[in-house]
């Protein structure tokens, strides 16, 4: 048996979702990366309590969809450990296309928000593309091990970094939370603000409202 794994390049299509309208009254634009098992259009529900006139939310869609048992709901996944670099290259090109289509004003307050698996996607995109933002929010996720402090030196010292996690998170025990906290400090120094809450692996809407 002479098995080979080959690679090709082709053009793909993917959707993304937005909430509210980008106008002259918009003060803050959010780029939000959902976690595993979500779809972008449903992830937006966590941002509906924000002032609609002042906030515009862009939610990219993870490319790999699958059925979630037992009700066969459709969810999506960003990456796996198999061919992670290739998968991330595809995501980089996809995110480039999303931001090119949206044409975010340079002067706007820009927040990059990652939840769960979306943390690794958001951080890798920032590091690879040196995307500037006013605030980086890491919610209940792990920081990619390959990233270094040098990858984020381009960020302004005024860029806020916030680490949100539930103290009863079933995926992040106390040891893992301590590890991720140390990683955040290694990457961003004393500007990291830690925001724990009593709860499990869920999006904390109250903290979302307090980020602006």
Task: Work out whether the CA dihedral 14, 20, 22, 26 comes out positive or negative.
Answer: negative
Residue 71: pLDDT band (50, 70, 90) is confident
Backbone angles phi, psi at 172, to 5 degrees: -120, 95
Q: Residue 37 pLDDT more than 90?
A: yes
With both helix axes pointing from N to C terminus, report the angle between 117-129 and 84-102 in degrees, rounded to the nearest 10. 70
Q: Of 7-11, 122-126, 164-168, which range is least confident?
A: 7-11
What is the average per-residue pLDDT within 63-86? 91
pLDDT at 1: 79
The pLDDT tens digits of the residues spanning 186-197 come to 999 989 999 999
Q: Could you tell me which residues come within 8 angstroms of residue 76 by beta carbon, excluding any fewer than 6 positions away?
A: 34, 36, 37, 38, 39, 40, 61, 62, 63, 64, 65, 66
Residue 212: pLDDT band (50, 70, 90) is confident
Kindly state the percentage of the chain with pLDDT values over 90: 87
Q: Residue 10 pLDDT more than 90?
A: no
Residue 20: pLDDT band (50, 70, 90) is very high
């Amino acid at each position: 048996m002479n098995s080979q794994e080959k690679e090709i390049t082709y053009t793909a299509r993917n959707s993304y979702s937005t909430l509210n309208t980008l106008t002259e009254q918009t003060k803050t634009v959010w780029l939000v990366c959902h976690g595993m098992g979500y779809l972008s259009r449903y992830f937006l529900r966590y941002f509906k309590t924000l002032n609609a006139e002042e906030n515009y939310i862009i939610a990219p869609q993870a490319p790999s969809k699958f059925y979630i048992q037992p009700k066969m709901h459709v969810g999506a996944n960003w990456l796996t450990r198999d061919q992670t670099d290739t998968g991330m290259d595809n995501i980089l090109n996809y995110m480039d296309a999303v931001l090119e289509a949206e044409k975010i004003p340079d002067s706007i307050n820009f927040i990059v928000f990652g939840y769960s698996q979306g943390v690794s996607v958001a951080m890798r995109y920032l590091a690879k593309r040196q995307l500037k933002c006013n605030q980086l929010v890491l919610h209940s996720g792990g920081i990619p091990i390959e990233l270094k402090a040098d990858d984020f030196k381009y960020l302004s010292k005024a860029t806020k970094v916030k680490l949100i996690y539930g103290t009863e998170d079933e995926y992040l025990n106390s040891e893992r939370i301590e590890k991720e906290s140390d990683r955040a400090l290694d990457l961003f120094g004393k500007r990291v603000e830690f925001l724990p809450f009593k709860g499990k692996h869920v999006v904390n809407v109250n903290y979302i409202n307090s980020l602006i």
